Amino acid sequence: MARPRKRRRVCGLPNVKAFGPLNGNIKDEVPIILSVEEFEVIRFIDLEGLEQEQCAERMDVARSTIQRMYTEAKKKVADSIVNGKVLRIEGGDYILCEIDREQCPSCGRGRHRHGDSI
Cα–Cα distance for residue pair 66/64, rounded to 1 Å: 5
Q: How far apart are CA 13 and CA 118, in angstroms?
A: 7
66-80 pLDDT, tens per residue? 999 999 999 999 999
Of 34, 46, 17, the residue nearest 92 (C-alpha):
34
Judge if pTM exceeds 0.85: no
Mean per-residue pLDDT of the chain: 84
* Predicted pLDDT of residue 106: 57
CA 40 to chain centre: 3
The confidence score (pLDDT) of residue 87 equals 96
Could you give all domains of the chain from N- to C-terminal order, each with its CATH number? 8-96 (1.10.10)
End-to-end, the C-alpha distance of the chain in Å comes to 37
The pLDDT > 70 percentage for the chain reads: 78
pLDDT tens per residue across span 31-50:
999 999 999 999 999 999 99
